[in-house]
Amino acid sequence: MNWRSVWAVVAGVLFGVGVTTLLDVALHAAGVYPPLSQPIDDRLALLATSYRILTGVAGGWLTARLAPRDPMKHALILGGLGLVAALLGVVATWNLDLGPRWYPIGLVILAMPQCWAGARLFELRAARRGSA
Residue-wise pLDDT for 25-35, tens only, equals: 999 999 999 99
Q: Give domain limits for the chain.
A: 3-131
Q: Which residues of 69-89 are buried (b: 16+ CB within 10 A; e: fewer)?
A: eebbebbbbbbebbbeebeeb
Q: How confident is the model at residue 131 (pLDDT cuts 50, 70, 90)?
A: low
Q: Mean pLDDT over residues 46-71, rounded? A: 97
At 130 the pLDDT is 76
Evaluate if residue 1 carries a pLDDT over 80.
no
Evaluate if residue 59 carries a pLDDT over 90.
yes
| List of E strands, 44-87 | none
